[in-house]
């Protein structure tokens, strides 16, 4: 019978040890502080991950903004260039219109005298005609017209 009591005591002792082990495990799991710490650690990890993602997104956005600013700068330069070209085109159109209007004015043909030719060349040049148009109107070579104009400019 003693053996039975010993076995019973050993069995009860074993159950008691198991009870204590399980109780500690349950207390650890049920402990609010440990849960709070686990939640805090998880929140900290999530915040770190969000910060990294945010930094990465900000870098991407800044890169795109830089590219857009460069594209806008290029577009502004092209717009300015196109405006200048448009203005030049308008000026050349108005000059061409004036030249056509001046061409319709009867320009007398050369009389054959060199002095008269020189005066007529200079008068037409001062009126805004190009050497090429003057040469065509007066049936002279372009070189002659340019020579007369350059000599008169040297004189004064």
pLDDT digit string, tens, across residues 66-89? 999 999 999 999 999 999 999 888
Domain span including residue 91: 21-105
148 CB contacts (<8 Å, ≥6 apart)?
Answer: 117, 118, 121, 122
Whether residues 28 and 98 fall in one domain: yes
Of the listed ranges 43-47, 113-117, 149-153, the least confidently predicted one is 113-117
73 and 57 inside one domain: yes
Helix intervals (H) in the chain: 2-30, 32-104, 114-126, 131-138, 142-155
Question: Same domain for 101 and 34?
Answer: yes
Residues 30 and 99 placed together within one structural domain of the fold: yes
Distance, CA of 141 to CA of 122 (rounded, Å): 15
101 and 118, same domain (yes or no): no
What is the value of pTM for the model shown?
Answer: 0.39
Could you give the maximum distance between any two Cα atoms of the chain, in Å? 162
Give yes or no: residues 90 and 44 share one domain.
yes
Query: Is the residue at 45 inside a domain?
Result: yes
Per-residue pLDDT tens over the stretch 5-59: 888 899 999 999 999 999 888 777 777 677 788 889 999 999 999 999 999 999 9
d(CA 45, CA 9) in angstroms, rounded, equals 50
């Amino acid at each position: 019978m003693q053996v039975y009591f010993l076995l019973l005591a050993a069995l009860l002792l074993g159950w008691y040890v198991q009870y204590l082990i399980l109780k500690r495990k349950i207390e650890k799991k049920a402990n609010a502080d440990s849960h709070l710490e686990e939640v805090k650690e998880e929140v900290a990890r999530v915040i770190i991950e969000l910060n990294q993602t945010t930094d990465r997104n900000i870098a991407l956005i800044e890169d795109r903004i830089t590219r857009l600013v460069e594209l806008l700068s290029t577009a502004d330069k092209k717009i300015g260039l196109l405006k200048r070209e448009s203005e030049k085109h308008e000026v050349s159109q108005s000059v061409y219109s004036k030249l056509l209007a001046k061409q319709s004015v009867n320009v007398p043909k050369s009389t054959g005298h060199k002095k008269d030719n020189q005066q007529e060349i200079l008068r037409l040049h001062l009126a805004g005609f190009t050497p090429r148009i003057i040469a065509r109107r007066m049936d002279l070579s372009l070189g002659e017209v340019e020579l007369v104009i350059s000599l008169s400019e040297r004189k004064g």
